Amino acid sequence: MRNPLDEIHDIVEDVRAAWPAGDSPRREDLARLNDALGRARRVIDSAQSRIAAEIARESRPELGRDSLAKELGYRSPTAMLAATLGTTNGEAARLVQVGEATAPRQMFSGEQAPARHPHVADALAGGAIGAATASAIITMLDRVALRAGPDAVYRAEQTLVAQAPGLSIDQLARIITRAEAWLDPDGVAPREDELRSERSLHIREERSGMLVFTLRVDPEHGAPVKTAIEAIVTAELRAAHDDPDAAQSMDAVRRTIPQMQADALTLIAEHVLGCTHRDVPVQGATVVVRITLQDLVDGTGHATIDGVAAPVSAATARRMAAGGGVIPCVLGGDSEVLDFGRTRRLFSAAQRLALVERDGGCAMCGAPPGHTKVHHIRWWARDAGPTDLANGILLCESCHHRIHDNGWEIRIDGPGVTAPVWFIPPTHVDFDRTPRRGARGRYDYAA
């Protein structure tokens, strides 16, 4: 294994070449510098976690007064690491955890065995992931290891490590949540019961007259609330975008997104109480619960809800599918046509549901389905692009402009809802134009 100090040296030389001493970095070098420094940080994470694990080993309780940490005046290895690195005890403990899980193991025979999590170890050592990502993956895998079995854990580790590079911790957390449900399907219902028992709404009035609502709900009860509020806010933002006068009015009011969400909840309550607003602008927003037919019939496995990361049990999926405004994800069939070709310009509701199944939301950034529109990959007017699934993609407004303005290309390998989606960057982003996975292949766990 290459010494991490050699890797850091090479990165420093690359940064020095792009950022001469005493000068401000050039605009065209910012992305290169950011990537190089990010890689340096991940390589340092790898080296630091190895050192942290060794410090913990040399400070184990059975050493007593010979403990390295105690010799240096600290009560524990985590206290020593937190003080010397200027971080928290939790961060120090995470470094120790990662170091211990990715270091080669010493067997009773004296021989060395591979690391407990070899795929995480390789990705960490190679600078593909950092300590925070490694810790998130390791924590979940260790939690389900006994129930899932070594083979399933090994495959899940391999899959998660392959998906993790390029994702934020928040994006990865959603994938890890889905992976845990796949590894431990019997654990979904107990966790769900626990969440359901903790749901609450506290209402208090401040001296100023401001009412404060603190709401905590499980996925089953929260999904309709979240979907309705997001639909109203999205409709208002689209109206402002399409109508300059409405946009000027919105600018005059200067409402933030949290304020718009509060107004949306008020609108829903007013509609329910007195129907003072006859049309709540949800534009057909629907809670979509996705589950395989076999799991639905057998009552096994788990289901997912569009826009909600936490999986739900098959029993919950059945209850939700029986309620109003919620549909199971069953697409196609004799009663629906999913490909319209050039006979119509706008994508149908059935096609949009099919694209939600394939893309999961914005295929580029992972934004919820309610924040997206269906766009023609080959433009309707300019390219005579057909209105069918192979030529449609869900994009939020920001990503739509980013793709068209900056020269990105989109490729979909096949016509169905399981077809892989790829984004091909322009040469100024990646000279080799290496395709990047999009849609569910990037933001959902591929069991």
Question: What pTM did the predictor assign?
Answer: 0.70
Q: Do 35 and 147 fall within a single domain?
A: yes
Alpha-carbon Rg for the chain, nearest whole angstrom, is 26
Q: How many Cβ atoms sit within 10 Å of the Cβ of residue 66?
A: 11
Q: How many Cβ atoms sit within 10 Å of the Cβ of residue 75?
A: 11
Number of structural domains in the chain: 4
Q: Write the DSSP string, 220-285.
A: HHHHHHHHHHHHHHHHHHHHHHH-HHHHHHHHHHT--HHHHHHHHHHHHHHHHHH--SS----TT-
Expressed as residue numbers, the domain containing 149 is 4-186
Q: Do 293 and 406 fall within a single domain?
A: no
Average pLDDT over residues 104-116: 78
Q: Do 130 and 220 fall within a single domain?
A: no
Q: Do 168 and 36 fall within a single domain?
A: yes
Site of tokens 């290459």 = 2
CB-CB contact of 440 with 364 (8 Å): no
Q: Quick: pLDDT tens for 91-108.
A: 999 999 999 999 887 777
Choose one of 134, 155, 186: the last residue of a domain: 186
Q: Do 50 and 146 fall within a single domain?
A: yes
Residue 235 falls within a domain, yes or no? yes
Q: What is the reported pLDDT for 124?
A: 92
Choose one of 232, 253, 274: the last residue of a domain: 274
Q: Do 218 and 87 fall within a single domain?
A: no
Q: Which of 302, 389, 380, 368 lies closest to 344, judged by CA?
A: 380
Highest mean pLDDT among 48-62, 300-314, 402-416: 48-62
Q: What is the reported pLDDT for 345?
A: 65
Q: Do 84 and 171 fall within a single domain?
A: yes
Residue 65 falls within a domain, yes or no? yes
Number of H helices, E strands in the chain: 18, 13
CB-CB contact of 385 with 391 (8 Å): yes
Better pLDDT: 156 or 431 = 156
Residue 172, H or E segment: helix 169-183
Q: Do 374 and 435 fall within a single domain?
A: yes
Q: Do 237 and 139 fall within a single domain?
A: no
Q: Quick: pLDDT tens for 195-209.
A: 889 999 998 888 887
Q: How many Cβ atoms sit within 10 Å of the Cβ of residue 294?
A: 9
Residue 341 has pLDDT above 60, yes or no: no
Q: Quick: pLDDT tens for 288-316.
A: 777 776 777 677 788 887 777 778 888 77
Q: What is the reported pLDDT for 120?
A: 95
Q: Which of 416, 424, 413, 421 lies closest to 442, judged by CA?
A: 421
